[in-house]
Every structure is written in structure tokens, then in C-alpha cells.
Amino acid sequence: MAKRAFPYIPNSVEEIKAELLEDIGISDVEDIFKEIPDHLRFDGKLNIPEPKLSEYELKKHVERILSKNKSAQDNLNFKGGGVWQHYVPSVCRTIAGRDEFLTAYVGDAYADHGKFQALFETASMIGELVEMDAVNTPTYDWSNAIVRSIRMAARINGRKEVLIPASMSPSRKKVVLNYCKPDIKVTEIDFDQETALIELDDLKAKLSEKVSSVYIENPNYLGYLELEAEKIGELAHQYGAEFIVGVDPSSLGVLEAPANYGADIVCGELQPFGLNMKWGGALSGFIASPDEEKYVGEYPSLLFGITPTVEEGEYGFGHVAFERTSYAQREKGKDFIGTSTALYGIIAGVYLALIGPKGLIELGEGIMQRCEYAKEKFAELEGVSIPIQTPSFKEFVVDFSGCSKSVKEINQLLEEENIFGGIELGEKMEEYQNCALFCFTEVHDRYDINKLINSIEMIIEKY
């Protein structure tokens, strides 16, 4: 039997290959590879697993491996901390699966007009949420949006120190430390363990005219509203520092647009908008700022702008201030640019258009209601307390110190009940030993919350 052709390689048919070789005037592909000296050649066959050549066998094989996971499909999930379980509308999935968007890349805004318009529209809607006129195409994730914002600020005012809250996501903090390492000093602002809020006195003590920017998260990593955000911004501005606010934008139906309490640069995470959790793989960051040259000129990422075409009344699109980028200027560009998360940015736009202004408000209010309900239910449990009374959005801290079981043990037992309990905080933040960070969203109904509470009650009583 003749060798079967590879379905992904049309010219793997022997006769076609022979025809191509003949046209080139060679008899073997080695006549091309001979350009590579022998000692640089890999002598042998790659030692990789036997393939699953038919699509059926491939599907079965990969699904068998994936089935070793346990997911939020069959388990109630109460983990957040930077990746949150929200409902993904069917229309978002449909658009995400369109081969036109999925398999496009870097064509210009003629053949890829739709991609440019889609990303412009996402930027437009994000701009409305944060009330700023300039928004970038997406970054890898929120953490990268933070560091890009910090580095933008440092280039804007030429200063070399950033103040960040010690309460910020430990994982995002690691990314900040990495990117600031060469030339920006990172100083942490203390927070009050009882309120989870930034210590204003410590902020004042650390502010100086050397500080380039002050970064806060609102809601913060633990889910609490940074109540003195406006004051923090005023203090930063007194010293001429840029005030950068990181947000979970799903809160912006009920929480104020950061520009309205003094933010100069806003950044955040788009994953809540129509993107499944995907083990943290579906993150996508954004940056927004005033539409002033001093800000726009410092963005490292691509910026898509609307512009007229030669046809009267037609909207066209193109790259704004492309010369800023490292694509144009290599090491003289602003940081570096590259393939980021455009598709996720497009989906976030679809989500925002679906949910609309009233839906976003309802989403935010409903989440807060579920959280308050859950807080009350937790507080009824013996040995369990809600240690922080600061208003929160979709996450909050639960203290299990009064229980005989550790958070780890409780979570293990919850897993047996098909529940993914809150994130164990003790390993991440020394202030919160025996505490867990719980997340509630619109996917949780009263029965889900009650099941969680009842299961914890049983675990506490039983053991």
C-alpha cells in the first residue's frame, strides 16, 4: 500500500513531491539541506511519542489525558484570586471559534479590517468603563499591563521608584519585581491586616519626589475596596507621581470609573469578560490613559485608531504612532512588543456589547449580594469568622483559626464533596494564616452557596 499522505500536508503525496523536486532541478530534499554543515545536523530521529494519526484516535488520546483533571463542570468552584469563574455567553464562544479571527495574524487593516474594528470597539468600551480616551490592544495579562504602566510612568517623569501595595497579588508582584529589576526601585506600602487597606501613614512616609508612580488595586487582591483611593491619588499627585489603578473591570458597573477618582493610568484584566478560566491561560490585560501625547507616546503595545478612507463615509483603521514600537525601532522603541492576546480582546468586546450597561450593573450588584449572603452564612459557623469588615466586591477572606482543621485539610475534604474551596492564603500572605480567599460570582446560586456552607459545617463538626 502506498504511504498515506499527512492530512495537514497536501504536498506529502509522493508524486507531487517528485514533481516539485523535478521542477526545482534536484532529486532529493537533502540537496536543499546540504547548506547546513554535517556537524550542525541532527543525526537521528526525534524521540517523541508514537503519533495518533487518525483524528478519532487523537481525540480519544487527548481526552483521556484531560479526563484526569477535575473541573468546575462537575465541581462547585469558589476560587478566584486573579482568575474568576463567570458565565461565558454562547455568542462569545461562537465568535471566538470563527476561523477568520482565530487564524488571522498581522495583516493590514484592509484584508483584516474586521479585526481592527473589533479591537477598536473593545478599546472603546473599556475606555467607557474607566472613562479614559486612550486604550491599548491587549497585553499578555494584568500583571504585564501593570509593569508596562509602571515603566510608562517612569519614562514620562524620568523617576525611578514605584510604590506598590504589599497587599497586591503575590503572583503579579513577582512579575512586577522581574520587570522593574533593571532600573526601577520597587517599594511596598504596608497595609492594615484588619481592614486589608493601604496604610496611609506608611504611604506618606514613603512618598517623595523620587517616586515615579503609585500603584493600587481596586478591588484589591483580597477583594476589598480601597476606600481611600481618591486620597491615595491626591497624595501621589502632591509629589508629582503618576497614579496607576489596577481593576477587575467586571466591578465597573457598580464601582466608580478610576479616572473619576484621580487615576492617570488604569490597567486590569479582561478574563471576566467572556473567557473561560482555562487553568489561568485565558488572561488578557489592558492599559488606559488620557489621550495625551505624553501618555500615548509611551505605550509599548500596538494601538488601533479609526481614520477615514478614500471612500466618503467609510471607517478605516490603522496603527497609531507606530514609530514608538520596538517593531519600528528595535531597542530604541518603548520596551518590547509582540504577539499578545488579540483574540481575547475581541471576545471581551463581544461580551461587553452583550451585557450592556444595565447588565454590567446587575452583574456587579448580584455578585455583591451573593458575597454578603455568603459572609453571613460563614459567620454562623462555629470556629469560622469574617475577619475583615471592609466592603468587598466578589472575594473576601474567611478565617478558620477557630477550627481544628487547617485550610488545606478542609479543602481536601471539600474536594471529596466536589467542591473547590477558597484559596489558601497562609502560604501566600503571612498575615492571613488559617485563612482562605473565597470568590462568588453570578454562576453561584443560593443552593451552591448553601452546599458550600453545609459541607464546611459537616467537615468542622465531623472532624
Partner 1 sequence: MGKTIFRENFHQADWDEPIIYEMSTPGVRGILVPEPDQKIKDRAGDVLAKIPASLRRKEEPNLPEVSQKHVLMHWTHLAQETMGSNLTNDISEGTCTMKYNPRINEELVENTDFSLLHPEQSEETVQGILEIYSEFENIVKEVSGLDKATLQPGGGNHAVYTAASIVRKYWEEKGELEQRDEIITTIFSHPCDAATPKTAGFKVITLQPDEQGLPDIEALKEAVSERTAAIFMTNPEDIGLYNPKVDKFVEIVHEVGGLCFYDQANANAFLGVARAKEAGFDMCHFNVHKTFGTPHGGSGPGNGAFCCKQKLAKYLPVPTVEHDGDKYYPDYDRPHSIGKVRDFYGTAGVIVRAYAWVMAMGEEGLRETADISVINNNYLYRNLVEEVKGLSYCYPDNGLIRQEQVRYTWKELTDDTGVDTLAIERRIADYGIQHYWTSHEPWLIPEPMTLEPCESYSKDDLDEYIKVLKRIAEEAYQDPEMVKNAPHKAASRKRKDDNMLDDPERWALTWRAYQKKKDKIHAD
Residue 363 grid coordinates? 452583574
Which residue, among 443, 368, 342, has the nearest Cα to 101 in the 3D structure? 342
Q: How far apart are CA 269 and CA 287, in angstroms?
A: 9
CB of 319 to partner 1, least distance (A): 6
Count how many Cα atoms sit within 13 Å of the Cα of residue 156 in the half-sphere of its side chain: 27
Stretch that binds partner 1, among 160-168, 195-203, 236-244, 329-337 (CB under 8 A): 329-337
Q: Which is nearer to partner 1, 342 or 460 (CB)?
A: 342
Find where cell 477535575 sits: 70
Residue in 2, 40, 158, 404 binding partner 1, rule: CB under 8 A = 40
Q: Which is nearer to partner 1, 209 or 294 (CB)?
A: 294
128 is a contact residue toward partner 1 (CB under 8 A): yes
Q: How many residues bind partner 1 (CB under 8 A)?
A: 215
Residues 256-295 that bind partner 1 (CB under 8 A): 256-257, 260-261, 276-284, 291-293
Residue in 27, 208, 238, 412 binding partner 1, rule: CB under 8 A = 412
Residue in 330, 404, 416, 430 binding partner 1, rule: CB under 8 A = 330
Residues 356-375 that bind partner 1 (CB under 8 A): 356-363, 365-366, 368-373
Residues 11-30 that bind partner 1 (CB under 8 A): 11-12, 16-17, 19-21, 23-24, 26, 29
Residue in 166, 186, 200, 320 binding partner 1, rule: CB under 8 A = 320
Phi/psi for 18 (5° steps) reads: -60, -40
Q: Distance of CA 118 to CAs 22, 92, 108, 284, 388, Å?
A: 46, 13, 14, 15, 41
Residues 369-408 that bind partner 1 (CB under 8 A): 369-373, 376, 391
DSSP, collapsed to helix, strand or coil, labels residue 139 as strand
Residues 185-244 that bind partner 1 (CB under 8 A): 218, 225, 227, 229-230
Residue in 224, 420, 432, 438 binding partner 1, rule: CB under 8 A = 420
DSSP, collapsed to helix, strand or coil, labels residue 134 as strand
Q: How far apart are CA 382 and CA 78, in angstroms?
A: 20
* DSSP codes of every residue in 419-438: EE-PEE-TTT-GGGTTEEEE
Stretch that binds partner 1, among 46-54, 202-210, 236-244, 453-461 (CB under 8 A): 46-54
Residues 104-123 that bind partner 1 (CB under 8 A): 104-115, 117-121, 123
Residue in 14, 27, 53, 461 binding partner 1, rule: CB under 8 A = 53
Find where cell 500603584 sits: 215
430 is a contact residue toward partner 1 (CB under 8 A): no
Contact present, 53 and 408 (Cβ < 8 Å): no
Phi/psi for 136 (5° steps) reads: -90, 170
Q: How far apart are CA 233 and CA 161, in angstroms?
A: 16
323 is a contact residue toward partner 1 (CB under 8 A): yes
